Amino acid sequence: LGLSITAGIVSSKGRDNIGFTDIEDFIQTDASINPGNSGGPLVNLQGEMVGINTAIHSSSGGYQGISFAIPSNIVKRVVHDLIQYGRVRRGWMGFIARERREKGMQKSDVEILSIIKNSPSEDAGLKKGDIFKEIDGESISSVGSVVRIIGNKYIGETIPFVILRKNRLLHFRITLKEKKDYKEQKKSLFYIFQRYGIEFDELS
């Protein structure tokens, strides 16, 4: 049915680790969203759009009270990138991380497994074994929350980090780069090495 509206409450913001997409930052609502409704606006009581209805969590394929919408601030950012650059640009830090939960822990830690050479993480001084405690003032307990926070930042933006290393809390500030730029740079450097036998590295 076209031109219909449903009502509900917002039960949570910043939902991640759902399994819909790589970067997740959803508004959860119990307003009815069914197949075919994706792309419609989620509005507040003042009629302002706060999100775009996107998905439902359902085993049957029908509405079961758990609906998700993309927040409007993310929509604005994506629209800006599409108009300005013709594509959506994502920030990149250059580390591989995993969740770990040791016996007796109430929540998971996010631990760095490796740091990519010449990445923003290496430039900032992050190391293998570091554990994320906070990113941009937000407590970290899942890889999804790390991806969400970084994925919603602009290229060139500097983000504060709090890291646990050998029982000490350390503070870092890391400036995001775009992964595409890194790949193009490495390709150019590899070409120079192959052709002339000269090896260069990025000055951090």
Nearest in space to 115 (alpha carbons), one of 180, 174, 64, 169: 174
Which amino acid belongs to residue 78? V
Buried b (16+ CB within 10 A) or exposed e, 156-184: eeebebbbbeeeeeeeeebebbebeebee
Q: How confident is the model at residue 39 (pLDDT cuts 50, 70, 90)?
A: confident
The span from the CA of 147 to the CA of 141, in Å, is 12
As a whole number of Å, the CA-based R_g of the chain is 21
Using the 8-state DSSP alphabet, how is residue 20 labeled?
Answer: S
Using the 8-state DSSP alphabet, how is residue 102 labeled?
Answer: -
Instruction: Please give the residue that has the higher pLDDT: either 62 or 187.
Output: 187
Percent of the chain past pLDDT 70, that is, above it, reads 88
Provide the H-helix boundaries in 52-160: 72-85, 120-124, 143-151
Is 173 within 8 Å of 180 (Cβ atoms)?
no
Statement: residue 7 has pLDDT above 60: yes
What would the pLDDT profile of 48-100 be if each residue is shown by its tens digit?
999 998 888 776 666 666 888 989 988 888 898 899 988 888 888 889 898 88
Statement: residue 195 has pLDDT above 70: yes
